[in-house]
Amino acid sequence: MTWDHPVDILVTFDHDAESAFLQHENGVHRGPSYLSHGAFGAKVGMGRVLEVLDARGIPATFFVPGWVAERWPDSVRTPAQHGHEIALHGYLHEYPTAMVDAAEERMVLSRGLDALTAVAGTGIVGYRPPGSMYSNATVELLREFGFRYGSAMQDDDGPYLHPTASGRPLVEIPCHWQLCDDLFGWHSDVRMTPSQVEETWTTELEALGRYPERAYVLTLHPHQIAHPGRLAMLDRVLDRAIELGGRFRTCADMATETLDRMGR
Ligand SMILES: [Zn+2]
């Protein structure tokens, strides 16, 4: 089979390490063994996913909480040095929907951005909220901070501009749960095997090319995807995307192209 239309492929990672577990309401998840599940992403996972990407010359976007940059700086500097995009994912994986007001959310964004910039350098233009959940205040705050794009909505499968009152354009790069490695089971109740996930991701990849200007956005976590069986499955999905003629790009590049295309 071939595509009717070329598809943009965005390989994105939420590099949570222990941070997502530290926010868990169940105290068991904040104990050392659960935290080590997250630490695997920084200790072992990052090196493995970089090998997979670099072997194919695929640029990726890594969304990183500021706290993770402070705790595991090399796991953030290394993908940056390999030419991948670094973007923001909160400070300690705080959910915007759990914050009391916009002032608290602004403070957390600022703290996360400062911590991440100190390790990864300037030029951070993108944000994905922890849990991929905006609050009612998030989009306006992203404009205030000068972000170029956000990535958390599920209402399209291609990029678009958020409606704006203030004039500063903000691109949305939607990401859908079916293309997230949470399908292996972690936060969600769904627990698929690697072959079930592969079928889900490949089926969507092949069908998306029926429609013009679509984006295939994988949401992965180094601590989830880098176990060898799962990573071998990702190898096959990426090779299929290459075979089909997928156009790999970072979220920052897609946001810039979207703004150019819309004359903003
Ligand atoms: Zn996360």
Q: How far is the CA of 130 from the centre of ligand 1 (A)?
A: 5
Per-residue pLDDT reduced to its tens digit, 193-213: 999 999 999 999 999 999 999
Find where tokens 């997250």 sit: 38
Q: How far is the CA of 262 from the centre of ligand 1 (A)?
A: 30
Q: How far is the CA of 231 from the centre of ligand 1 (A)?
A: 19
Q: How far is the CA of 172 from the centre of ligand 1 (A)?
A: 18
Q: How far is the CA of 147 from the centre of ligand 1 (A)?
A: 19
Per-residue pLDDT at 29 exceeds 80: no
Q: How far is the CA of 21 from the centre of ligand 1 (A)?
A: 10
Per-residue pLDDT reduced to its tens digit, 50-80: 999 999 999 999 999 999 999 999 999 999 9
Residue 31 vs residues 17, 35, 41: alpha-carbon distances, Å: 14, 6, 17
Q: What stretch of H or E contains 220? A: strand 215-220
The model carries a pTM of: 0.96
8 Å CB contact between 219 and 179: yes
- The amino acid at 145: F
Structure tokens belonging to residue 212? 């013009």
